[in-house]
Copies of this chain bind each other. A is one copy, B any other.
């Protein structure tokens, strides 16, 4: 009930006065324009032509607004993972699924950046993010657990979930303030870097940094469709390869 999926059937009783999306849009607009703390729920409700009380029937918290229907998104991630063939190594599958999950249509990129910017900038929203990502992490952990035949709450699955989230968040943070960069590339690189973490040396890291900050959105960094093809099937892509590709 926390995340209503806007049941499209329902035709009984008093009609709804608004939607999650409308409230979210109004809210994000006000937040980015006036600052999160300077906008009260009262204002958002009024702007949407709804009572304050009703707002809290759509969103349990003011801080949940920028997340929209995140429960739906989490299910999408679950779907991405379900599409991964069993013959792909675990981390390669997670990596690919997270990359696919974070692909947004070009015309929605700016809005997406604004949302993530809000979420990872405003302290109260940063706080909320961890709670929100609990389910996201659990999906990764469950996938890992299934693959390795372990309990989803055991060490390795939880660790993989945690690490995957790390990769995503670190990538978000770098991507947000950098227009004309590709989120997928950041995420993919983050996973590659994690796998090769123990080989970190000055030269490698520096080149990686340079590589990212100057790489525009280009075809080679995007997978064609949506999980059918797998650019990375061996799970052996490393920092060195990334750099070899750059310093050719």
Contact = CB atoms under 8 A, between A and B. Distances in A.
B159 A193 contact: yes
A166 B174 CA distance: 18
A149 B208 CA distance: 13
Contacts of A170: 155, 158-159, 162-163
Contact of A89 (B126, B134, B166, B198): B198
Contacts of A90: 200
Contacts of A173: 158
Interface in A155-177: 155-156, 158-160, 162-163, 165-167, 169-170, 173-174
Given A89-B198, A123-B131, A159-B193, 18 more contacts: A91-B197, A126-B130, A127-B131, A147-B202, A154-B209, A155-B174, A155-B186, A155-B193, A155-B209, A156-B193, A156-B208, A156-B209, A162-B166, A163-B167, A163-B170, A194-B197, A195-B197, A198-B236
Among all A-B residue pairs, the 9 with the closest Cβ atoms: A127-B127, A162-B166, A159-B170, A130-B130, A148-B205, A156-B205, A166-B166, A195-B198, A162-B170
